[in-house]
């Protein structure tokens, strides 16, 4: 879609209608919206969304289910400025998330790098990228806070925050719900939840679910289906409320995924890169040449690296492109993750004006991703990355609530320890005798990296809101954060590659560089920042409010952990924190049956952390400064005569690199995918838009029939730093449709639907290292698929 068409769509939407979520005020405007009220917690207290001077997308569980938003990665279809991807680059793990809001986030899902968008489950921060892939089972609501949240949510929320709230146990109520779904690719999915009262002051809630589905990418080598689903979840909560002034809730959750591997396919090969040339010559590709001095004068196999573009299986070239749903790899692949945690949340109302709150939590994340990055029979790049992470957090809040004055003061402590193992084998096919001494052949060698990482973070924060006169409110807050990080690593080169991992490492190993390099003592860095926010809001009447705000946030720095045979005296490469200053104006309008929320913003982004390849190794560096400008809107229309619902949103984004910090290149190495002012940054589409239309037909007093259509459009999108056309996605439109038959009195419903109704073929992930390793890989979305679901509530 051309930019002019996108602007026309925005104009049509803006004249038409307002937001998916609603306010807490009991007003005529609310009544016109059919009582569609969502309470949000963006300022760590419950209030109506229309009363909150923040750009928020808020959704109830019912709205998410109606729009077929089943997990966190689906949120991008209905949320302006949000890009939420899984199977993060370099990870090989289907659950590794890459999340951007307003073009700000983090590309690298490794354990050494913090995310740029904070994900919170029941107010508990999720520290690892794998833990952010959440199925929406027994949830109450989801809020997406757009823009930096550096005061109340703190570190690593420079792009924004996603708040997932689960249902709490209800006293004196036995209830439950269940659903079962079947569909294309042998889909079998189930979920059930039950609320159990235990006396007058105690209640429990238990839920669980599973999903099994075949993959949609087939490997020719062994018939393995990639991109399959195989997961289950269990959740539980116990709530004690001995009085209206005290509430204690204990929650636990467990998620397990064991899948064949991410559905990457071949995207391209640089036939003039050294590694494709080497493996091709070793395999006997006619006409291929390698960049070494000839052992036999005049041998035609030596020269500038080159692989001819011929249909010969011995040649590593673009003839291995088998299309979007076929993979030519032969190396092992797998994706597993196990995530669990618990939290204890206690809230005590000391007086009518003063409340104390405590949140104590633990989370554990274990994951492994094995990937064949080149997706060919050649051994160009295969990675095996496993990570074990444990985090503890403690937050305390003191909340003050007076008629015109509200305040919150608090403290936060976070500790995380992570062990990561990365194995990268390097071998070549058996070689002709003349070049055997160069290429070797057989099992080859293997790079093995151990990383021990620890983070200690301490923060204090406060925010005050004061209503100066009726309708005019000022809000200001500050947060000070101190992050202490350490890294202790080991890099080994094992020959042959079949040698087992040394465990434990030899106590007398010498850190001399090359085949074995050990950092015997932890390398430590500290990162601190004073962040904050300020806003002014005016409620013109019960239907219109406007605001202006400023927010500053930061994302912590850290250490790179990927190295290849570092030289003697090598010092681990660290990177600094990045910061964002954001300026925003917004309006929230309820006009008759319409609701419209608008926000315009500018964000100045300093010391951006981007991935570059130093030789063959991907490392993170602070790359420079950028400016992001944009406009967002959300809309809904619910006419008083009932039945019809129209809702959706849009965003316009202009991301511009303002200055570039040179990335160091040690002697003998090169830096790939450098950037320059004016280049496109990853995950910054100029336009995103979504719309949903439903009509409820009342068949009798309790029986309803509701057809629904949802569509979303995303303009041109790139996935990595720099321009690589073969893994860039042109603008695309995805439509979903469903029809639901439900009986309100008996609580049952039957739903049938189609995802990707028009069978749009589009990329959802891409990665490339064309300069040295010479490969590019990509993931296409699952093609059109249908489902049928039955559900019941009691």
Q: What is the pLDDT of residues 560-609, one digit of tens each?
A: 988 876 766 777 888 999 999 999 999 999 999 999 999 999 999 999 99
Q: How confident is the model at residue 29 (pLDDT cuts 50, 70, 90)?
A: very low
Give the span between the Cα atoms of 273 and 773, in whole angstroms: 7
Mean of pLDDT values over 511-515: 50
| Terminal Cα distance for the chain, rounded | 46
> Looking at per-residue confidence, does 342 or 21 come out higher?
342
pLDDT tens figures, 678-723: 788 999 999 999 999 999 999 999 999 999 999 999 999 999 887 7
Q: For position 494, what pLDDT does the model report?
A: 74
Q: Which domains does the chain have, with CATH numbers?
A: 3-271+317-521+531-793 (2.40.170.20)
Q: Is residue 742's pLDDT more than 90?
A: yes
Q: What is the DSSP letter of 167?
A: P
What residues contact residue 2 under an 8 Å CB cut-off, 6+ apart? none
SS3 (DSSP) at 402? coil
Contact between residue 452 and residue 488 where contact means Cβ atoms under 8 Å apart: yes
Q: Is residue 167's pLDDT more than 80?
A: yes
Mean of pLDDT values over 303-317: 92
Instruction: Using CA atoms of 135, 141, 147, 148 in order, give the dihedral in degrees to the nearest 10.
Output: -80
Reference 403, options 477, 473, 347; nearest CA is 473
Q: Is residue 442's pLDDT more than 60?
A: no
Phi, psi of 124 (to 5 degrees): -105, 125
Give the span between the Cα atoms of 452 and 561, in whole angstroms: 9
Mean of pLDDT values over 73-97: 93
Mean of pLDDT values over 528-543: 95
Mean of pLDDT values over 32-52: 78
Q: Report which listed range, 12-16, 156-160, 182-186, is most confident.
A: 182-186
pLDDT tens figures, 266-298: 999 999 998 899 889 888 899 999 887 776 777
Show the tokens assigned to 683. 């995950």
Give the span between the Cα atoms of 638 and 33, in whole angstroms: 5
Contact between residue 190 and residue 177 where contact means Cβ atoms under 8 Å apart: no
Q: Is residue 15's pLDDT more than 60?
A: no
Q: Is residue 34's pLDDT more than 50?
A: no
Which DSSP string corresponds to 629-647? EEEEEEEEE--TT-SEEEE
Q: Is residue 508's pLDDT more than 60?
A: no
Mean of pLDDT values over 84-106: 92
Q: For position 705, what pLDDT does the model report?
A: 98
pLDDT tens figures, 122-159: 999 999 989 899 999 899 999 999 999 989 997 789 99
pLDDT tens figures, 618-652: 888 898 999 999 999 999 999 988 899 999 999 99
Q: For position 9, what pLDDT does the model report?
A: 37
Mean of pLDDT values over 517-543: 88
Q: What is the DSSP letter of 13?
A: H
pLDDT tens figures, 409-436: 999 999 999 999 999 887 655 545 444 4
Q: For position 7, what pLDDT does the model report?
A: 36
Q: Across the chain, what does the average pLDDT equal?
A: 88
Q: For position 520, what pLDDT does the model report?
A: 62
Q: Is residue 32's pLDDT more than 70?
A: no
Mean of pLDDT values over 8-12: 37
Reference 730, options 762, 757, 755; nearest CA is 762
Tell me, rounded to whole angstroms, the distance of Cα 356 from its chain centroid: 32
Q: Percent of the chain scored above 90 by pLDDT? A: 70
Q: Is residue 2's pLDDT more than 80?
A: no
Give the span between the Cα atoms of 609 and 483, in whole angstroms: 17
Contact between residue 622 and residue 607 where contact means Cβ atoms under 8 Å apart: yes
Contact between residue 741 and residue 716 where contact means Cβ atoms under 8 Å apart: no
SS3 (DSSP) at 784? coil
Rounded to whole angstroms, what are the CA distances from 559 to 112, 191, 524, 680? 6, 41, 9, 26
Give the span between the Cα atoms of 205 and 190, in whole angstroms: 17
> Looking at per-residue confidence, does 769 or 188 come out higher?
188
Q: Quick check: bond before 37 cis, omega within 30?
A: no
Give the span between the Cα atoms of 773 and 672, in whole angstroms: 11
pLDDT tens figures, 247-267: 999 999 999 999 999 999 999
Q: Is residue 362's pLDDT more than 90?
A: yes
Burial class (CB in 10 A: 0-12, 13-18, 19+), 185: middle
Question: How many other CB atoms are there within 10 angstroms of residue 331's CB atom?
Answer: 21
């Amino acid at each position: 879609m051309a930019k002019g068409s996108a602007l026309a769509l925005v104009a049509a939407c803006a004249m038409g209608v307002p937001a998916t979520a609603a306010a807490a005020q009991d007003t005529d405007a609310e009544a016109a919206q059919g009582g569609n009220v969502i309470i949000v917690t963006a300022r760590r207290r419950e209030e109506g969304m229309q009363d909150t001077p923040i750009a928020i997308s808020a959704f109830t569980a019912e709205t998410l289910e109606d729009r077929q938003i089943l997990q966190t990665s689906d949120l991008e279809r209905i949320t302006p400025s949000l890009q939420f991807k899984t199977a993060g680059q370099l990870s090989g793990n289907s659950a590794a998330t890459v999340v951007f809001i307003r073009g700000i986030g983090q590309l690298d899902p490794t354990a050494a790098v913090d995310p740029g968008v904070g994900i919170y489950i029941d107010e508990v921060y999720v520290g690892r990228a794998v833990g952010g892939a959440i199925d929406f089972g027994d949830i109450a609501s989801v809020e997406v806070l757009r823009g930096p949240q550096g005061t109340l949510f703190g570190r690593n929320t420079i792009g924004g925050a996603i708040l997932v709230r689960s249902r709490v146990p209800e006293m004196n109520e036995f209830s439950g719900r269940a659903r079962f779904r079947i569909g294309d690719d042998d889909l079998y999915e189930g979920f059930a939840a039950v609320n159990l009262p235990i006396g007058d002051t105690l209640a429990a809630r238990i839920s669980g679910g599973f999903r099994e589905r075949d993959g949609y990418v087939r490997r020719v080598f062994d018939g393995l289906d990639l991109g399959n689903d195989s997961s289950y979840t269990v959740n539980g909560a116990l709530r004690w409320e001995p009085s209206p002034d005290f509430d204690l809730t204990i929650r636990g959750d467990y998620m397990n995924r064991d899948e064949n591997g991410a559905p990457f396919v071949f995207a391209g090969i640089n036939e003039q890169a050294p590694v494709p040339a080497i493996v091709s010559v070793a395999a006997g590709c006619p006409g291929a040449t390698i960049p070494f001095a000839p052992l036999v004068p005049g041998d035609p196999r030596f020269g500038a690296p080159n692989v001819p573009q011929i249909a010969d299986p011995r040649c590593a070239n673009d003839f291995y492109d088998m299309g979007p749903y076929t993979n030519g790899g032969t190396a092992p692949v797998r994706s597993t993750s196990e995530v669990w945690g618990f939290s204890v949340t206690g809230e005590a109302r000391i007086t009518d004006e003063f409340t104390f709150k405590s949140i104590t939590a633990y989370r554990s994340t274990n994951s492994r991703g094995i990937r064949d990055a080149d997706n060919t029979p050649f051994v160009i790049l295969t990675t095996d990355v496993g990570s074990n992470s444990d985090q503890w957090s403690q937050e305390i809040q003191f909340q003050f609530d007076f008629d015109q004055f509200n305040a919150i003061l608090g403290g936060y402590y976070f500790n995380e320890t992570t062990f990561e193992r990365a194995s990268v084998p390097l071998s070549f096919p058996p070689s002709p005798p003349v070049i055997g001494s160069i290429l070797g052949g057989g099992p080859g060698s293997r790079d093995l990296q151990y990383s021990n990482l620890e983070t200690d973070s301490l923060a204090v924060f406060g925010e005050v809101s004061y209503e100066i006169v009726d309708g005019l409110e000022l809000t200001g807050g500050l947060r000070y954060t101190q992050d202490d990080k350490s890294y202790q690593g080991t890099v080994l080169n094992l020959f042959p590659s079949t040698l087992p991992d040394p465990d434990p490492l030899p106590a007398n190993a010498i850190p001399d560089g090359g085949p074995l390099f050990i950092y015997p003592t932890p390398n430590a860095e500290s990162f601190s920042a004073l962040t904050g926010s300020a806003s002014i809001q005016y409620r013109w009447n019960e239907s219109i409010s406007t605001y202006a705000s400023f927010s500053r946030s930061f994302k912590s720095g850290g250490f790179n952990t990927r190295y290849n045979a570092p030289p003697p005296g090598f010092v681990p490469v660290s990177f600094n924190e990045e910061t964002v200053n954001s300026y925003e104006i917004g309006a929230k309008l309820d006009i008759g049956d319409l609701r419209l929320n608008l926000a315009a913003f500018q964000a100045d982004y300093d010391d951006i952390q981007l991935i570059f390849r130093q030789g063959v190794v991907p490392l993170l560096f602070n790359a420079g400064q950028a400016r992001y400008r944009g406009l967002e809107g959300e809309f809904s229309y619910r006419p008083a005569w009932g039945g019809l619902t129209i809702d959706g949103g849009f965003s316009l984004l202009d991301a511009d690199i303002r200055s570039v910090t040179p990335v160091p290149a040690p002697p003998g190495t090169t830096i790939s995918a450098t950037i320059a002012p004016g280049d496109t940054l990853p995950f910054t589409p100029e336009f995103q838009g979504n719309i949903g239309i439903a009509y409820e037909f009342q068949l009798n007093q309790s029986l309803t029939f509701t057809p629904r259509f949802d569509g979303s459009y995303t303009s041109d999108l790139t996935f990595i730093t720099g321009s690589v056309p073969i893994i860039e996605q042109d603008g695309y439109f995805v439509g979903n449709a469903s029809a639901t038959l439900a009986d309100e009195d008996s609580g049952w419903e039957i739903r049938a639907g189609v995802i990707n109704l028009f069978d749009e073929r589009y990329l959802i992930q891409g990665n490339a290292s064309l300069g040295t390793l010479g490969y590019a890989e990509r993931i296409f979305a699952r093609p059109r698929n249908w489902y049928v679901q039955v559900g019941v509530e009691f």
